[in-house]
Structure 1
Amino acid sequence: MLNTREFQLENLDEVANQILENATSKTILFYGEMGAGKTTLIKALVKALGCDDDVSSPTFSIVNEYSVNDGLVYHFDFYRLNDEEEAYNFGIEDYLESGAWLFIEWPERVKHILENESCNRLTLESLDSKTRSIKFTTH
């Protein structure tokens, strides 16, 4: 487990590498207010996994896929989901069983679907324009 700590955005690549080194699951749940930096951190994680694609928020598409060195990353943004049934409709179970990296923003929107999954939890808080607080919990 990484303790709660503060970091500067200029050290984002280092933080991403530490998360990947400490992850006990390929599923990471991202918690934090709008604008806390969840997507920015996910961009750094995808880069650290070996992808140079332009990583963007899947707010409207719900999921983006990226090829990385050891397979795939699926980046989810569930902010616009109305209910968990929508996640079932696009096949969330297939993604959960894929063995790929899953980076999930707004996981509280599908909490019942994820309750039995092995996941890491990451909470971000914006302290100012250049500083974030991060708490990374492994299960």
Structure 2
Amino acid sequence: MKTIEYTYHIVDIDKIAASVFKHLDSKTVLFKGDMGSGKTTFINALLKVMQSDDVATSPTFSIVNEYNLPSDKVFHFDFYRIESVEEAYGFGIEDYLNSNNWLFMEWPERIEELIPENIETITITTLENQKRNLKLTINTNHLAEK
């Protein structure tokens, strides 16, 4: 397991997203951070790097948004409103997990037992002066790592 850290200002987010993308070995990426820390904003920057014309919006109410890439798709989940694993099964989470598409998951701790082993984790923390700290944990074996 390897951790790479970045501290950035919002104006540098595209450059940071490009660097992070180069390090991703798994198509399942967990996004952790407090409400308003910039998870969806960072996902939007990653989509640009991945050559998507779509704009990321928070899927808090829809639970999952789909974005198109030139030869793939990204499924962006927000599990904040999920009350149980049964709810995740109810909207077909297993189909997404078995899809071989990119999976970006916000609030993954809500479905901890369903998270596959081959994942990477991006943790975003808000700092002063509109800066952020981003930790990319590469090849995380389990969600319990915080």
TM normalised by structure 2 equals 0.90
The Cα offsets for residues 38-88 of structure 1, whole Å up to 9 and x where unpaired, read as 000001111211112232100000000011122100000000001111111
**Matched residue type, 2:96:** Y
The Cα offsets for residues 89-109 of structure 1, whole Å up to 9 and x where unpaired, read as 111111111111111000010
1:21 equivalenced with 2:12 (yes/no): no
User: Which consecutive unaligned segments of at least 5 residues does structure 1 have?
Assistant: none
1:8 equivalenced with 2:16 (yes/no): no
Write the mapping of 1:20-99 to structure 2, written as runs, cut at 5 A. Answer: 20-99=21-100
User: Secondary structure at the residue paired with 2:127?
Assistant: strand
Q: How far 1:129 moved relative to its partner?
A: 4.6
Distance in 2 (CA, whole Å) between partners of 1:23 and 1:54 is 21
Aligned match of 2:103? 102
Distance in 1 (CA, whole Å) between partners of 2:105 and 2:75 is 8
TM normalised by structure 1 equals 0.94
Aligned match of 1:128? 128
Identity across matched positions, percent? 46
Q: How many residues align?
A: 138
Distance in 1 (CA, whole Å) between partners of 2:57 and 2:113 is 26
User: Secondary structure at the residue paired with 2:105?
Assistant: strand
Q: Which has the higher contact order (CA 8 A, sep 6+)?
A: 1
Distance in 1 (CA, whole Å) between partners of 2:64 and 2:14 is 23
Which runs of 4 or more aligned residues in structure 1 lie more than 3 Å from their structure 2 counterparts after TM superposition?
none
CA RMSD, aligned part only? 1.2
Q: How far 1:8 moved relative to its partner?
A: 1.1
Q: How far 1:15 moved relative to its partner?
A: 1.2
